[in-house]
Amino acid sequence: MDYKFVYDEKEYILTEENCEGIFFDDENEVTGLSLDTILGALNDGEEVNFSKEYYAGKCECNTQEEINKSYRYLEYHFYIYTKNKEYIINTLSEEYKTTSFNRLFSIGKIDDSYIVNVTVCPNCGTYSIDIDQCTV
């Protein structure tokens, strides 16, 4: 599964090859969540728009311009919901359109939420995925 998007007239393709990895918080690893699931979610999303974000870490391609001691990336985030730390549903899915966090939570289908940050180097197109527990 690949995901393509265009930003500033440049096309980016997110694949397994240019992914640096999926990174979780300490002790907060989600099971049942693959890169395919995440790229599939981006493909399912109808209004996925990457925007500029700045981070202190520089990409390995070493070509980003330094701006106020940070470097520009393209970022997009969405949410996933879990039960017993196992992946259940993402907020970009067709299935999620007809439900909500509160509804799924109240019937015991899910018990926690995580933010999925997709961060792309605008120069070389390498990207990483950071998943952090967060409260809805």
- Residues at the contact surface with Zn ion, assessed by CB under 5 A: 59, 61, 121, 123-124, 126
128 alpha carbon, distance to own chain's centre: 8
The nearest distance, CB 36 to Zn ion, in angstroms, is 23
- Beta-carbon count within 10 A of 46 CB: 7
* Closer CB to Zn ion, 38 or 74, in the complex: 74
When the beta carbons of 39 and 59 are compared against Zn ion, the nearer one is 59
Residues 101, 109: Cα–Cα separation, whole Å = 10
- Least CB distance to Zn ion at residue 70 (A): 14
Alpha carbon of residue 75 to chain centroid: 8
Element at 129 (helix H, strand E): strand 127-133
**CB under 8 Å to 54, separation ≥6 — which residues?**
67, 68, 70, 71, 72, 73
CB of 33 to Zn ion, least distance (A): 25
CB of 121 to Zn ion, least distance (A): 3
Is the CB of 5 or the CB of 105 nearer to Zn ion?
A: 5
Nearer to Zn ion by Cβ, of 4 and 109: the residue is 4
